[in-house]
Structure 1
Amino acid sequence: MVLAAIIVGIAAYHYVRMFTSWSTAFTVSGAIYTPTGEPFNEAYRYADWLLTVPLLLVELVAVLHITGQQRSGMIARLVIAAVLMIVLGYPGEISSDVTTRLVWGTLSSIPFLYILYVLWRDLGAVMERESAEVRVLLRNLRLLLLASWGVYPIAYLLPLLSIDPATALVARQVGYSIADIVAKPAYGLLIYAIARIKTQQERGESSEGTIPAIA
């Protein structure tokens, strides 16, 4: 829960900075956004991701039935892959060149796919050692992670489509923001439910009253 609080705290700070940067970069008249000449600083979002994405993965490993060297090894692999994913995606994000965006987006996808592979392979093995109730929550957690993280590459590729650049910019920011809400607060609630159930099971208590799992 400490990790979950740190994650949403970091995200809240960077969203305030992004809001300020957006307000400086555009003026609004009715429903029309007009550039002021000041650039919108996308770096705030990537700074947020650089800190929060590795913590999200650490948060997941923390509630799994993994100990010792196996836990340390999994955390190291996931954190390194997460950092590479964010760092490699940033040059393409700030570029208006199609080829540059595609190249860096492709490179960023490699650690992204590796993270999914580790979570599905290693987490799948760990899930077999958990109770049926926890297995359902872990399954839902993986699906939530896949659904929310799947929004990012779609939003990333919007500038490459034949749509108005201003519309693509707004749609990209909306897509990123929706995915962030799902991938941080909602994800944290599922982690909390898993941690609470496991704690109660260790104490021999009933898990009644825990956030219900989706069957």
Structure 2
Amino acid sequence: MEVKLLQSTDVTGGTFTLLLIGMIGTAVLLFLGTGWVSRKWKLPVALAGIVAMLAAAYYWQAREVWLTAGQMPVIYRYIDWLITVPIQVLALYFFIGTVARPPTGLFWRLLVVAIVMILARYMGEVGFMHPTLGFLIGIVGWLYILGEVYFGKLGEINTKSASETVQTGFFWLRLVVTIGWAIYPLCYFIGSFAGGVDEGTLSIVYNLADFINQILFGLIILYAAAKESATAR
């Protein structure tokens, strides 16, 4: 079996390796964390752990592709997003569900919107639909999710929550969804309408963004869950 070596000057390959290790460590920590928190917090923590585990599987495969071919076909990343982004949206739903149960219809709306958002961006980026249409559908989906967490039922439940820990945790999770997720439409816009960027640089940006969008996201949930569980004892 041929061993694919990571070259010292391969910064892109280094970020794939860095995120692979980071995702594995985060997944292990979050799954262990389900044993530290009270029952109502186990589901959001477990969902964050599943996101990290699936991201680790993606980074393992992506690292192999990069070291072998020196490129990263966009379909690999969209397969990851198509699964992890909807799970993250549901993690937000169940995070707030520890305070008061949001409407069941909202659960399905968030799930469908997250899937459509990712599919539209993928189809626009690879040419299955007009890039502008894919970009606009993706933006509308993202804005809908932001609307729910800031001004919709999720935001309303958070505002009425008596738990300072939940309010603080949700504040930081909203920042991740607002600022961290902004990298996706921004890179889409640059790639489709502003002359593009080389695959190596694009992969570095996406990989480092996942520190915020997936690793930090999960750690915020775990921190809030552990703190609330300790207070309840």
TM range (shorter): 0.7 to 0.9
Q: Which amino acid aligns with 1:112?
A: W
Q: Report which of the two structures shows the higher radius of gyration computed on alpha carbons.
A: 1
Correspondences of 1:2-151 after superposition (within 5 Å): 2-26=46-70, 40-64=72-96, 65-67=99-101, 70-95=102-127, 100-121=130-151, 122-127=153-158, 128-151=160-183
Structure-2 change in CA distance of 1:21 and 1:94 (3 Å): farther
Which structure's relative contact order is higher, taking Cα pairs within 8 Å and 6+ residues apart? 2
Distance 2:68 2:133 in 1: 30
The TM-score with structure 2 as length reference comes to 0.71
* Structure 2 gap segments, 5+ residues each: 1-44
CA contact (8 A) 1:92 1:105 kept: yes
CA contact (8 A) 1:78 1:115 kept: yes
* Structure 1 gap segments, 5+ residues each: 27-38, 204-215
1:184: how far off? 0.8
**Among the aligned pairs, what percent are the same residue?**
28
Correspondences of 1:116-195 after superposition (within 5 Å): 116-121=146-151, 122-127=153-158, 128-159=160-191, 160-162=193-195, 165=196, 167-195=197-225
Q: Pairwise CA RMSD of aligned residues?
A: 2.1
Distance 2:132 2:205 in 1: 19
Q: Deviations over 1:116-162 (max 9, x none)?
A: 11111223211222322331222122112211101111111222224
Structure-2 change in CA distance of 1:171 and 1:130 (3 Å): farther
Distance 2:105 2:227 in 1: 25
The TM-score with structure 1 as length reference comes to 0.77
1:17: how far off? 1.6
1:66: how far off? 2.5
1:173: how far off? 1.9
Distance 2:222 2:72 in 1: 35
